[in-house]
Structure 1
Amino acid sequence: MDCVYERALFEVGSDGKFQKQFDVFFNFVFASLWAMAYNNIILALVILPHTCQIPQDSNNNDDPYLMSKFIPIVNDSSGKILYSSCLIYKNPEKSNLTKGCDTYSYNQTWYGSTVPSSYNWVCDDEIKVANIFAYSKIGEVVGSIIFGWFGDISGRRITYIISLGLLISGRIISIVTSNSYTIFVIGCVIAWFPSWSTVQSVTVISMEISAPKRRSLTATYRAIAYSTGMCLMPLLYWWLRDWRPFMIATTLTQLPYLIFSWKMLESPRWLFVKNKKEMCVKELQRIARTNNAKLKPETKQEILKTTIINEDHVLGPLSLFLGRNLAINTILQLYLWVAVSLSYMVLIMSSGEKANGNPFLEFAWQSIVEIPATFVGAWLADKIGRRYTGSVSYILSAIMWTLIASKETGNETSWVHNWWIGTTLVLVNRFSATVCYYVIYLLNMELYPTCLRQSGMSLGNLFSSGACAIAPYLLYMGRRIDSRIPGVVLAITSFFGVLASLYLPETLNVKLPETVTEAQDVRRNVTYISLKLKSSKLHKKSINKGQEEE
């Protein structure tokens, strides 16, 4: 069924100038800018260090005498003794009775303003920040279902356009109406409603117009682009200092891509599977022109005459659970999404709140680490296979979270409390999380069939969003109850990620499945060595066949 399309793709070029330009323009430049627009709300919602405003002298909140006179001393969730950030003495001259702050004084060493500092979403109202993330991620859950189905039914291009439009609209709503908590939340939900469908659509198109050997390269482009955007984003905030101009600047970068979205290529593989043969030929010829190649007339006629009977769309995403092998693969991948997303979200949210150093540089350093992590992930994925790379990364993450949790106990003078120990643990953890993401993206692309590939990716986003909705509450419990809670929970989830990775089948150099039936036949007991041998034989056979046809 897929032979004619594969032959057509070989003729027009599956590793030519078109694929390279598409990857640079969309999977790198666009993905970098999109990462800033998608994640800018994380930094905008950072809760700044704060205390009650001392009534006698608003300019001396750092004066030790006034602090000790007006602000009570308390123990935080890790047992440290410090000044309360939410209480002030009612009448320090007469009693030790306390009350909540009337006004707040914020540490503006690094941030000029954030949304919580602008509207005092701190102390008892701090839960509002966690709720914003939770509501937004719930919106992502719903959006993942809708846009995953929509992308496989209506096409990759229209999904890209609608998703990008919603992201821009949602951010504009939040910026303009931030004085209303309800409308601000609605804007956040709209922006995150399409989830990752925008950038995912272009990645899927790239995967479906490229040779198998380019799949890893495309994933590398995408991962490096995301890390680049995450690195530039805090530096831009550091320069602008205030949340509103920061969000405007990062959101406006998306407008040119929306304006020129009509030039986006539709996946010819998707068009072929959906029996839209004339459009498929048109897009293939578009690729051929850029690659200085030509689609043979006989191949074109064969494409036009081929009719594919495909009933996979009837059940939609439920088809991903048809058959024992496919169902197990789907469940395992969904758990991997949960494990890495929860870990990653906690890492990036906590890095933006660093009070003992420059939070912007901390955020940037962690993001820079993702770039070498991507190359290492790509190298390992091609050398030892996808599942072994994933299992090593998850076990490294489990170890890091265990050490981070243990760091919250014991004497502050012990070696584990050295600043460089904490920084190293976080950087290594971010490194391993990046490799985990890289592997799960590859597995999603290579285990799901064409007719359900975007549904499968969006189902992963659904569970990823659900996990991210838990992250702010996990941090909230760490701040309010026990600082060890995030580390313990994430160490356990990462450990089970190791087991899930090991039980998945290897997909290195395996042909992309076109139908649910083919996806069900992916074998779990295929070894890395046998895949390398099989890939080598198939490559030689393909070359010989191409020479005979010429």
Structure 2
Amino acid sequence: MSFDELLDQAGGLGRFQIFQLVLFCVINLLTYPHIVLENFTAAIPDHRCWVQILDNDTVSGNVTRTLSQDALLRISIPLDSNLKPEKCHRFIHPQWHLLHLNETVANKTEPDTEPCVDGWVYDRSYFPSTIITEWDLVCESQSLKSVVQTLFMTGSLLGSLIYSLLSDRFGRKVVYLWCLLQLGILDTAAAFAPTFLIYCILRFWAGLSVMTIMINAFLSEWTTSKRKSVGIVLMMSSYSIGQMFLGGLAFAIRSWHTIHLAVSVPLLVLLLPSRKLVESFRWLIVRNQLEKGVKELRRVAHINGKKNAEETLTIEFVKSTIQKELDAVQVKPSVFQLFHALNVIRCLFSFHFRFSNAVSFYGLILNLQHLGSNIFLFQVLFGAITLTARIVSLWTLNYMGRRTNQILFSFLAGVSILVNTFLPQEMQTLRVSLATLGVGSVSAAGTGFTLHQIELLPTVFRSTLGGIVSGFQRTGAILAPLLMTLLGYSLRLPWIIYGVITLLAVLVILPLPETRNQPLVNTLQDVENNTKYSRKVKQEDTSTKVTQF
């Protein structure tokens, strides 16, 4: 392919590509924690109603002085079905008779209770402050925690659509830098939000820029086809490192204000080296900016230490090398033509896979508290297993192909989730093991699809269609926490849905073409030619097998 030949002339894997890869990995390491930030900043601590005889230091009396804290708690807060103090109700009047252990309560009427009208007392041993304790998002307001997550995911959905269109219109670099600036400023400001409403608004606007930062087109469009899978898997591995980083950071820094600042301020600092990024050569060509594209190509060659780049990479040489692409981009195709060229059914299958993969992944990753109390350990554990899965995925992508990778790991993930659903709560170790296997398998399948998606979509519409695919992913991310509301009907129903949706993803991968060792397509003509070429190769292979003997 002519693009790959030019990249080889400029250095297919040189100092520039290494600098770009390291920079993106560091930025993604700090960006990914913003997605799961509420695992810690919105952690729900143990809590109970504020009661006067327990929590008012000005209350005095001989009786309350002689009683222990446990005794005062017993007469002030009713017990739930697990014989633990209620979190959302208190006795209207102290129930002194409960101190007499020998007194039967069979003939006693149920004492009157009331909500926590005076506020709550929180266990601050794990987290001295969260947005839950900041704005009392407990009891009847507990659903507001999922509102924050839903708003952030909704913002990421809208941002993936808006900024992908802007990337195809104005270029990858300027939109990427703007999103980096936006995320750093907004989530820094969120640490100082005076009200919950302002915090929600800031998190929504911060979510707009996340997917553009994490799923950028720079790396794939400045890398040759041979090195593309390694670079993308390494970049996606930084997401896993970001998960582990957040777990360790939250363990060391328990205040939600400080956690916000710790993952946001460094993004503003990274704007300085990000200015040295080079605009996508492929995008400049398809936008008919040949001279600027050649200038950027020479710049990359100079960084990679290629001597005499100006003499070898002339405008005439580049133009003759990619003449077919230049002729093709003169015709401005519409998105409808692209859907027709790629086959509508094939596109819909791609959208469904990204949707189902996101539902199962975020269903697991956003519900750490359902696994146990040590959410720091689970965050690090999930990060480690997704990192391992993505490295394993690199091997399967190279030796088993794109489709086999997604089919294998989607099947493992679906089975793990469904089996885990019907295990008793007492089998905690096995449940955690299956959950980590499920997360790892979903991550490996998603890694394979990310590479597969880039190879399926032509450069002229890669960001636009990638944004649409990402939109389906964000829709799945929005749906994942909302499905947990079904716990009120059945404790197993949300997890059954996660597992079934994941297994359905196996079926939608089958019609997609295999793209391993195929060059990137740049135009609609490339898509059609690749389809015809694939059919021709299959026919030739069949003929060879028949006539070989």
Pick aligned residue for 2:469 from 457, 460, 463? 460
Displacement of 1:98 = 2.7
In the alignment, is residue 504 of structure 1 matched against residue 489 of structure 2?
no
Partner of 1:188: 203
Which amino acid in 2 is paired with 1:328? I
CA displacement, residues 11-49 of structure 1 (integer Å, 9 cap, x when unaligned): 1121223222321222x2222122234543443122233
Deviation larger for 518-527 or 489-498: 518-527
In the alignment, is residue 270 of structure 1 matched against residue 283 of structure 2?
yes
Q: How does 1:315-394 map to 2 (within 5 A)?
A: 315-316=334-335, 318-323=336-341, 325-351=342-368, 353=369, 356-394=372-410
Partner of 1:538: none
How many residues of Structure 1 are paired with residues of Structure 2 in the alignment? 510
Partner of 1:547: none
Displacement of 1:435 = 0.3
Which amino acid in 2 is paired with 1:88? R
Partner of 1:474: 483
Displacement of 1:83 = 4.6
**TM-score, normalising length from structure 2?**
0.85
| 2:183–2:206 Cα contact (<8 Å) kept | yes
Displacement of 1:377 = 0.7
In the alignment, is residue 56 of structure 1 matched against residue 53 of structure 2?
yes
Partner of 2:59: none
Deviation larger for 29-38 or 445-454: 29-38
Q: Which runs of 5+ in 1 are unaligned?
A: 534-550
Which amino acid in 1 is paired with 2:497? V
TM-align CA RMSD: 2.9
Displacement of 1:244 = 0.2
Please give the secondary structure, in 2, of the residue aligned with 1:196: helix
Identity of matched residues, %: 21
| 2:164–2:464 Cα contact (<8 Å) kept | yes
Partner of 2:12: 14
Partner of 1:420: 429
- Aligned partners of 1:107 and 1:344: how far apart in 2? 30
- Aligned partners of 1:525 and 1:268: how far apart in 2? 26
Displacement of 1:287 = 1.5
Partner of 1:97: 112
Deviation larger for 375-384 or 16-25: 16-25
| 1:386–1:439 Cα contact (<8 Å) kept | yes
Pick aligned residue for 2:493 from 481, 485, 492? 485
- Aligned partners of 2:244 and 2:470: how far apart in 1? 22
Please identify the structure whose Cα radius of gyration is greater: 2
Displacement of 1:525 = 11
| 1:337–1:463 Cα contact (<8 Å) kept | yes
Displacement of 1:187 = 0.4
Q: Which runs of 5+ in 2 are unaligned?
A: 57-63, 96-108, 542-549
- Aligned partners of 2:113 and 2:337: how far apart in 1? 59
- Aligned partners of 2:366 and 2:47: how far apart in 1? 18
CA displacement, residues 188-214 of structure 1 (integer Å, 9 cap, x when unaligned): 11101124112322xx21211211111
- Aligned partners of 1:378 and 1:284: how far apart in 2? 28
| 1:156–1:266 Cα contact (<8 Å) kept | yes
| 2:17–2:222 Cα contact (<8 Å) kept | yes
| 2:413–2:442 Cα contact (<8 Å) kept | yes
Please give the secondary structure, in 1, of the residue aligned with 2:48: strand
- Aligned partners of 1:313 and 1:182: how far apart in 2? 44
Q: How does 1:70-81 map to 2 (within 5 A)?
A: 70-74=76-80
Which amino acid in 2 is paired with 1:441? T
Which amino acid in 1 is paired with 2:33? M
CA displacement, residues 230-262 of structure 1 (integer Å, 9 cap, x when unaligned): 101121111111100110111011012223433
- Aligned partners of 1:358 and 1:108: how far apart in 2? 15
- Aligned partners of 2:313 and 2:151: how far apart in 1? 54
Displacement of 1:526 = 5.9
Partner of 1:211: 224
- Aligned partners of 1:439 and 1:455: how far apart in 2? 20
- Aligned partners of 2:47 and 2:529: how far apart in 1? 58
Partner of 1:225: 238
| 2:458–2:522 Cα contact (<8 Å) kept | yes
Q: How does 1:497-536 map to 2 (within 5 A)?
A: 497-520=505-528, 522-523=530-531
